[in-house]
Amino acid sequence: MHVAELWRYPVKSMKGEQLQETEITPLGIPRDREVAVIREINGRFLTSRTQPALLGLQGSLDQDGNATINGLPWNSPAAHELVNQTAGQPVHLESTPHPQAFDILPLLIATDGTIASLGIDRRRLRPNILIAGVDGLNERDWPGGVIAIGSVRIRAVKLRERCVMTTFDPDTQVQDKSLLINIIRDLDGTAALDCSVIEAGRICVGDEVVLF
């Protein structure tokens, strides 16, 4: 098994960016989900679960390591206007301290075996790490185990319960509810792994993965 892809999502619920290498800290990948969209009406996160158009915006880091949205500095008036138009309601952007930005745990790991079994675009699962060379649905036996990538040690805590976000096409945001229905029917509503970090370090695409 090996690391096939690495993903960081600088702005929560927006498109992520692929990496060739990254540090893994106790709080996951640095700058992951660093900025969030906040609803003015109640101060809560606005996510693509209820506003899938957010998935059409590209979150990235510029050369200085600052978050951008479609190339605009995240805290600029232009970015604020773009996100308000996309959200269709009054919102603002906030730098969100970890671990508040995470839905569950700092890392989400997906495997090519499960993705192939579901027949879906791997981006629908929004992983931080995609592991290749996994037979079928073997990831379902991983919770409680330790995933070793070089000196990094990651605990596979539990299978991730999937939500409506999986139903939206990453490129067009067109919804196909059958995808989530299939996950519920065939996999008890779970796919990929919520993970915590035991030992930090640096990992790269292509690194060998060993399960203990």
Transcribe 149-196 into DSSP letters. ETTEEEEEEEEEEP-GGGGB-TTT--B-THHHHHHHHHHTTEEEEEEE
Say if CB 16 and CB 8 are below 8 A apart: yes
Provide the b/e sequence for 23-41 (b: ≥16 CB within 10 Å): ebeebbbebbbbbbbbbee
pTM for this model (two decimals): 0.94
- Estimate to the nearest angstrom the gap between the alpha carbon of 2 and the chain centroid: 19
Say if CB 156 and CB 142 are below 8 A apart: yes
Would the pLDDT of 122 be above 70? yes
Mean pLDDT of 111-117: 98
CA–CA gap between residue 24 and residue 124 (Å, rounded):
22
For residue 97, give both structure tokens. Answer: 């301290």
Please give the domain boundaries of the chain with CATH numbers for all domains: 2-7+103-211 (2.40.33.20)
**What does pLDDT average to over the chain?**
95
- Predicted local distance difference test score (pLDDT) of residue 100: 58
Least confidently predicted of 33-37, 62-66, 99-103, 122-126: 99-103
Q: 3-state class of 22 per DSSP?
A: strand
Mean pLDDT of 138-151: 97
- Predicted local distance difference test score (pLDDT) of residue 104: 77
Per-residue model confidence as pLDDT tens digits over 7-59: 999 999 999 999 999 999 999 999 999 999 999 999 889 999 999 999 999 99
